[in-house]
Amino acid sequence: MSCCTPASDGRGLCHPSSAPGLLTIGPPPGPYRPTPARRETRGQVLLPGGTFAMGDGFGEGYAADGEGPVHPVRLDPYLIDATTVTNAAFAAFVKDTGYETEAERLGVSAVFHLAVRAEPSDIVGEAAGTPWWLVVRGASWRHPAGPLSSVGALRNHPVVQVSWNDAQAYCAWAGKRLPTEAEWEFAARGGLAGRRFPWGDELKPRGRWNCNIWQGTFPTRNTAEDGHENTAPAKSYRPNGYGLWNTVGNVWEWCADTFAADTYAARAGDLPVHDPRGPSHDPDPDARRVMRGGSFLCHNSYCYRYRVAARSGNTARSAAANVGFRCANDAA
């Protein structure tokens, strides 16, 4: 489990196992009305596809994440959102369908301890193994830092506190899908082969911050030298060579694939691998799903995962204040 996001207790979103009445998440209740799937490409960038080297070529990844070996992958052309899905876009989905996210139905979610906006009585406890994450009653996409917070001034920021299942529901409504892990990495690289970041190998070329990550001493002091303590607007800094914004830092992004540390090692035989795809659905509700890109809480002292090759995972029902998503689509 990534130290960048709170560990799940095996039932989905982070919560103390003793919390009464919070152990089951079923289908969305009430007025949720999924609409028929329709293909929609607004806000998406057409990528040419091609063959690229997938994985960590610098030996900087964590063994448990399985960032190697580097291997050739060939992708067909596809489309991908230029930005992560924003609060405004997610609000339109909720208004149209009546959807309730898993965090809303569960009643609690994970918030970084310095960002909590809640009464002490709403702080249920600490997330297992990551004491800088607090389990907060009333935290959800509408109230990402707790019930005393709001997305009113964050309409152009990435939506957070959304699970993989929530992301799937949005994609079905929007006529899109989640990107595969291979599609995500190809897009994040922006056409640069074998580099650490979407802009090259230096974190701060010419002394300029290009992404929203942690500065200072984690987890007690964030100097916010990059201009943001928490999430940044979805169109912050400069886009990469493909015109995509914030592919590293800011928020983790869900991908379609099931996560396994040996995914790359298992890709033996005929290379390059053609358009590898993880299942979009899994009968196990607690299967781990791939997350990519790192977040505003990543720091090289404990979570050097704001590199384009970095990968992690969490259960499909987990949500946190630093996890969002962007959508993709077939080219035709």
Indicate the average pLDDT of the chain. 89
Tokens of residue 319, six digits: 């949500």
- pLDDT score recorded for residue 127: 85
DSSP letter string, 127-148: ETTEEEEEEEET-SSSSTT-TT
Distances (CA, A) of 271 to 73, 117, 191, 194: 7, 50, 20, 18
Long-range contacts, stretch 19-24, CB < 8 angstroms, 24+ apart: 19/108, 19/124, 22/106, 22/107, 22/108
Poorest-pLDDT segment among 2-11, 148-157, 189-198, 306-315? 2-11
State the pLDDT confidence band at 284, using cuts at 50, 70 and 90: confident
Q: Identify whether 163 is part of a domain.
A: yes
Residues with Cβ within 8 Å of 135's Cβ and at least 6 positions away in sequence, in order, are: 14, 15, 16, 108, 109, 110, 123, 124, 125, 126, 127
- As separate numbers, helices (DSSP H) first and strands (DSSP E) second, the chain gives 4, 15
Poorest-pLDDT segment among 17-21, 49-53, 63-67? 17-21
Residue 62 pLDDT exceeds 70: yes
Q: Identify whether 24 is part of a domain.
A: no
Number of domains the chain contains? 1
Poorest-pLDDT segment among 7-21, 138-152, 218-232? 7-21
Q: Which residue has the tokens 């204040």?
A: 321
Question: What is the percent of the chain where pLDDT is above 70?
Answer: 87
pLDDT in tens, 28-52: 545 555 555 688 999 999 999 999 9
Q: Identify whether 72 is part of a domain.
A: yes
State the pLDDT confidence band at 269, using cuts at 50, 70 and 90: confident
Residue-number span of the structural domain to which 284 is assigned: 44-97+155-330
pLDDT in tens, 297-326: 999 998 999 999 999 999 999 999 999 999
Residue 13 pLDDT exceeds 50: no
- pLDDT score recorded for residue 20: 25
State the pLDDT confidence band at 14, using cuts at 50, 70 and 90: very low
Read off the CATH number of the domain in which 318 is found. Answer: 3.90.1580.10
Q: Identify whether 144 is part of a domain.
A: no
Average pLDDT estimate for 270-284: 76
Q: Identify whether 119 is part of a domain.
A: no
State the pLDDT confidence band at 143, using cuts at 50, 70 and 90: very high
- pLDDT score recorded for residue 12: 39
**242 or 280, greater pLDDT:** 242
State the pLDDT confidence band at 277, using cuts at 50, 70 and 90: confident
Q: Identify whether 132 is part of a domain.
A: no
H helices present in 161-317, as ranges: 164-174, 181-189
Average pLDDT estimate for 254-276: 91
Q: Identify whether 307 is part of a domain.
A: yes
State the pLDDT confidence band at 287, using cuts at 50, 70 and 90: confident
Q: Identify whether 249 is part of a domain.
A: yes
- pLDDT score recorded for residue 73: 97
